[in-house]
Chains A and B, each alone.
Chain A
Amino acid sequence: MEETKPVAQLYSDASKDGASPRRVGSWMQRPLVEPESSPAAEDLKLLRRAGAGDQKAFHQLLDRHAGRLFGLAFSLLGNAADAEDVVQETFTGAYRGLSGFEGRSSVATWLTRILVTQAARWRRDRKRPMEPLNSVSALRAAGELRTTEGGAAAVERRLDLHAAIEQLSPEHRQVLVLREFEGLSYEEIAQVLGVPRGTVESRLHRARGELREKLKDYL
């Protein structure tokens, strides 16, 4: 069940759960002492400048994160047009919620959290299932076949993978995409989704179990 979050919470970076960090993170992990030149520190500087009215700084933030967020949105929604719209909604929400950022998470985590929530809302409001990528024409329309190599077998494998991911519940799809496509740690996924780390672990276990069952011919 996709939950509805109030706008104030959506645009705030405050984590609502008390999950304790215990694992090594990836690019989104915020170290205790942020090096001046790290990407996260640069993001924070740009966000502060944007909050002070520097519109150019906000555009720089967009340049730094739009590509990654688009990939994530595509994985969650299944088509490029919706993904672009949700990325736009994400940056619109981030711009309007600049004052709500308190620095409790990295800017990347904050943006990812907004995007995941916006994607869930988008799917719910549109009341339509994930774009069915179960045909070659659907894949071509989504711009997927340009990068597909290996002929018909590869296309078929890709279609089956998309179909299997599409059939997951929204909660399972979220954790799977954040882990497998984004490479986030469990702690980072917990921050993004606002759930305890144990929930991430169990959802991921079940999501992979479903996928293994559906894709056993390829494993």
Chain B
Amino acid sequence: MSCPMSQLLSAYHDGELDSAERAQVERHAAACPACAAELAELASLSRLVGEYPPPRLSQIALHRLHDRTDMVMRAGVLRVARVLQAAAACVVVASTLMLMRTSSANSSNSGQEATAQETAVEAAPPWLDVAVTASAETQSLDATTPAAAWYLADVSSRSEDVP
């Protein structure tokens, strides 16, 4: 039959009691040989355990830990990249589907839209007319125009200079 005060001895040994509890244990241990012996054994046990600390981590093992941690980090980056790749693929698919739907709707309404475009051209403001003219001039630029002929002649003369 152990002493009821025994419950407090471990905490006393570890310095985990407040001052009142400590004084209580010390008074009791002075009069109780069993508790005094248990306190002595607790001290011996801690000394025994303290004589055999666990081994230290070797430098080789530490390097291994760093290397494996790098692999984990790289795997994390690749995982994020895969998620982004999947998200990008989803966007492309969704965009394609939207375009297909729009083009099918356009083809079904092409007759109506052509009429609407003609109406729009008739009603176009003067500044839009200028832009349309400039665009037409750009499209008609080919080797027969003076500027294009000069450019082509210049390029051919430079290529002849190259040994």
Chain B contacts of A161 at CB under 8 A? 48-49, 52
Assess the A88–B54 pair: CB atoms within 8 A. Answer: no
Inter-chain contacts of B69 with A (CB < 8 A): 58-59, 62, 88, 91-92, 95
In chain A, positions 81-99 with a C-beta closer than 8 Å to chain B are: 84, 87-88, 91-92, 95-96
Cα distance A96–B77 in the bound complex, in angstroms: 12
Does A8 count as interface, using CB distance less than 8 angstroms? no
Tell me the smallest distance from the CB of A28 to a CB of chain B, in Å: 15
Q: Judge if B97 is at the interface, Cβ distance under 8 Å.
A: no
Interface pick from A11-19, A30-38, A102-110, A200-208: A200-208
For the complex, give the distance between the alpha carbons of A205 and B66 in Å.
39
CB closest chain-A residue, reference B38: A212
Asked if B26 is at the interface of the complex by the 8 Å CB criterion, the answer is no
Q: Judge if B14 is at the interface, Cβ distance under 8 Å.
A: yes
Inter-chain contact B72/A201, CB cutoff 8 Å: no
Nearest-Cβ distance from residue A102 to partner chain B, whole angstroms: 21
Q: Which 10 pairs from chain A and chain B are nearest by CB?
A: A71-B54, A70-B57, A219-B44, A74-B54, A205-B10, A180-B49, A67-B57, A219-B41, A75-B54, A92-B72
With A201-B10, A212-B41 as contacts: A88 and B49 at CB distance below 8 Å: no
Write the nearest CB–CB distance from A156 to chain B, whole angstroms.
Answer: 12
Residues of chain A within 8 A (CB-CB) of B65 are 62, 66, 84, 87-88, 91
> Chain B's interface: helix, strand, loop or mixed, by majority?
helix
Q: Is the CB of A218 within 8 A of B11?
A: no
* Closest B residue to A212 using CB positions: B41
In the assembled complex, B114 has its CB within 8 A of some CB on chain A: no
A144 within 8 A of B: yes
Residues of A with C-beta under 8 A to B53: 71, 181
- State whether B45 touches A66 (Cβ < 8 A): no
User: What's the Cα separation between A212 and B43 when bound, in Å?
Assistant: 11
In the complex formed, the residue of A with least CB distance to B42 is A208
Tell me which residues across on chain B come within 8 A of A58, comparing CB atoms. Answer: 69, 73
Residues from chain A with a CB closer than 8 A to the CB of B33 are none
Of all chain A residues, the one with the shortest Cβ separation from B7 is: A205
From B7, B10, B16, B72, give the contact of A95 (CB < 8 A): B72
Query: A88-B65, A161-B49, A201-B16 are known contacts. Are A143 and B55 too (CB-CB below 8 A)?
Result: yes
Whether A215 contacts B48 by the Cβ 8 Å rule is yes
Closest residue on chain B to residue A73 by CB atoms:
B54
B48 with A157: CB separation less than 8 A: yes
Residues of B within 8 A of A195 (CB): none
Residues of A within 8 A of B142 (CB): none
| Most chain A CB within a 10 A radius of its CB, from B7, B48, B76 | B48
Closest to A85 in B: B68
A144 to B52: give the CA distance in the assembly, Å.
9
B41 engages A181 (CB within 8 Å):
no
In the complex the two chains form, what is the Cα distance from A72 to B57 in whole Å?
11
| Cβ-based interface call for B62 (8 A) | yes
- A212 near B14 with CB under 8 A, answer no
Find residues 1-48 in chain B having any chain A CB closer than 8 Å to their own CB: 6-7, 9-11, 14-16, 18, 38, 41-42, 44-46, 48
Known A62-B66, A75-B54, A205-B6; further 14 A-B contacts with Cβ < 8 A: A23-B16, A63-B62, A67-B56, A67-B62, A70-B56, A71-B54, A84-B64, A91-B69, A92-B72, A185-B16, A201-B16, A204-B14, A205-B11, A219-B45
Bound complex: CA of A169 vs CA of B6, how far in Å? 21
Neighbouring B residues of A84 by C-beta, 8 Å: 57, 61, 64-65
Whether B50 sits at the interface, judged by CB under 8 Å, is yes
A71 and B56 form a contact (CB under 8 A): yes
